[in-house]
Structure 1
């Protein structure tokens, strides 16, 4: 069977923790090129993986002509580099958030269609076992009507794991565009859409920066969301949870409450109104603190999608719907009004 030739553009922490080791572990691919503007960093990574090093992504695309490209760059580069890779004939796996505007996201989707290539956004929370089980239980009617939810993603901030620490692009608005909401909040907007199987129509939000002193992006956000069927709930994203990470979701239904990643021993706990409680041990959620010991399943899924010529679970269209929630939350915070979410 054909081995796909892979290039990873941007070799910071997410590439080193996720993309590169997971590509290396997949028998159907070969890492042929890596790119980064920091020469020492890219040379070291190239030597580690037996790949060719580049500091200019366009040179990489022109010379190597890879089958697959992972875009692991600052947010403002996601769209232009993804589009260039798609136009060069590569399938693209882009880190989240997919873009810094709806227009950029639409341009990425258009480029994928025009070049008949696959575009996937790396929203890895859809692959977590507890999240998939919760979706199955809801689809099977175990909870009856869903009334409400709360979902949160918070930790002490990117300086704890980003390759550049406190000097990371995450804290620079011209490169990141958006802070904790782009880093963590968009994961949860994608997750709650996936678990509930619904789109969201309206958001009211407070998105602020009150925790990081040397930063001009948001680091604390709380959003109130309404779904198309009338489910209301909260989404929280924060870089101010300094003592421990919170990556939990709770879903409140007519017949039961589901607690996901909210207990140290059980990744999913279902508490039914009849008094029954079911505790599931479904494995550890992937974390950047785990040193890459857990797998995100993103890479393997993307490769399988290419092999089978089917849409990946998180297409560009899916990524854009999750981004639009975050963009609407920003607008709500700026205007002090409830905002209709672009569909």
Structure 2
């Protein structure tokens, strides 16, 4: 039998522990290529598959490798773009869950798949785990009758550090709980109608995500499902899945299945473990075998775009219910698209609304002044080049306001060390503890404002690849103040416990002199990005608001800018 040749994008844990070892156990599979912008992960994957080509550029892997199928195992916010690119390149696609992080992205993937004529499967592996497959078979045999109630409890350790601990995943409901919601949908065999969630972050304070929740789902056929999840139970916790039918009760713990017959009290026990363990989680190898079988036979995968759109809706609605504190209609697509998309645009670095103020105010480095209370907050939460194993990422939030005269920007930063060796204007601020604002008022070019932690500025106007140093006489009305003061910090010091603030005022006169822009009016938008770096600090870091998909740290890519909208 001819082998199916695979390319893999995203060489982190799921590929190193899951996809690569699992494919190596399947005789009919061959790994031709691996791709990642993280060179360390790419090298690790290459060692697992010495014969595979290595690509730091996913598009080059698509065009140059001989892969028949592509596994998308990258961070959630890249799934839509990369799945569509692979389908358009004529590849079959196995995409890790979720199929996008908004309904719009899910629909875009669905349309691209329909147009492609290729096989597309989404990685909700629990449907393929032997124990859940066996449970489904026993239910079809009528052992417990019609299902009325479903419950899943997961008490476990926190999510892995890194991108999973950021808001751009779509939230815990999508990143983690979508596995359980997919099971709910499969066993209920109906469409979810209403969901109510209660959750919060009570222990894992270093994460912006909820770490515990209760979720209740109501289905069209009357089935009710309940999820209990805790992410701060490292010891003694377990996963339990339970179904109650008219005739009996079914319980799954790990790979053990128990069935209790209501009328007779009879207890049936079954061990559904596999002789050859699967890499990563139960169902992970079997889902790939299913995917390959669908490719060969032209079958519709068990985890297809119809099933995954329902899981996507439920996950997004459950996340919204936590925020709104109310019951959400899962099938109200207009509501989900509007409310959830608005939240995610800010989190992902797609859009940020800049509120207008009637009066200008003094810039003094004080982040607690009343003027900033009404400004929306965004976070620098994309750290694709960070070495999470060595040190934590800085905490950086940004607020913006504008007046008739210019833009106010406030950076709030907490990191472990601060460094500010450079005090002269146009010095290499990026080598110090540094925050940056890049703005493209129009298509002519963009400005890069780079400011170290004591307020020293580097400013260029970038036009068609040419960097123009903005002279000091052009910035007389520009104001920058740091809560740390302006004295040089020649040797790295511990950051104050409360962090530090860098407050800025960028007058429109600078933008208007070098670009063709006019004074912003309500509804006008600019392209922009916000960054944090520190090339020569004890803990170098490079982060952005809008994700920059490059293999090495590089901020000068206006194609990756987000949008700031003047209200």
Same fold (TM over 0.5): yes
Residue 6 of structure 2 contacts residue 67 of structure 2 at CA under 8 Å; is this kept in 1? yes
Is 1:281 aligned to residue 282 of structure 2?
no
Counterpart CA distance in 2 for 1:293 and 1:316 is 22
Q: How does 1:1-343 map to 2 (within 5 A)?
A: 1-49=1-49, 50-64=51-65, 66-159=67-160, 166=161, 168-174=162-168, 176-179=169-172, 181-261=173-253, 267-273=256-262, 274-283=264-273, 296-342=285-331
Structure 1 residue 153: deviation in Å? 3.2
SS at match of 2:239: coil
Q: Can you list the C-alpha shifts for 1:85-129, whole angstroms capped at 9, x where unaligned? A: 111111111111221011101111111111111111111111122
Structure 1 residue 281: deviation in Å? 1.5
Q: Can you list the C-alpha shifts for 1:175-214, whole angstroms capped at 9, x where unaligned? A: x2213x2233100111122123222211111132223121
SS at match of 1:150: strand
Structure 1 residue 295: deviation in Å? 5.3
Structure 1 residue 293: deviation in Å? 9.3
Higher strand proportion (structure 1 or 2): 2
Residue 222 of structure 1 contacts residue 237 of structure 1 at CA under 8 Å; is this kept in 2? yes
What are the ranges of 5 or more consecutive residues in structure 2 without an aligned counterpart? Answer: 334-567
- Assess, with a 3 A threshold, how the Cα gap between structure 1 residues 41 and 33 changes in structure 2: closer, same or farther: same
Residue 75 of structure 1 contacts residue 100 of structure 1 at CA under 8 Å; is this kept in 2? yes
Counterpart CA distance in 1 for 2:19 and 2:110 is 22
Counterpart CA distance in 2 for 1:209 and 1:284 is 37
Q: Can you list the C-alpha shifts for 1:123-170, whole angstroms capped at 9, x where unaligned? A: 1111122212222222222222322121133420233xxxxxx3x101
- Shifted more, 55-64 versus 9-18: the winner is 55-64
- Shifted more, 132-141 versus 74-83: the winner is 132-141
Counterpart CA distance in 2 for 1:231 and 1:292 is 28
SS at match of 2:176: helix
Residue 318 of structure 2 contacts residue 328 of structure 2 at CA under 8 Å; is this kept in 1? yes
Counterpart CA distance in 2 for 1:26 and 1:233 is 36
Structure 1 residue 292: deviation in Å? 7.3
Residue 71 of structure 1 contacts residue 93 of structure 1 at CA under 8 Å; is this kept in 2? yes
Counterpart CA distance in 1 for 2:174 and 2:288 is 21
TM, length-normalised to structure 1: 0.89
Counterpart CA distance in 2 for 1:201 and 1:326 is 12
RMSD: 2.3
Residue 267 of structure 1 contacts residue 280 of structure 1 at CA under 8 Å; is this kept in 2? yes
- Assess, with a 3 A threshold, how the Cα gap between structure 1 residues 313 and 13 changes in structure 2: closer, same or farther: same
- The total of aligned residue pairs comes to 330
Residue 126 of structure 2 contacts residue 283 of structure 2 at CA under 8 Å; is this kept in 1? no
SS at match of 1:297: helix
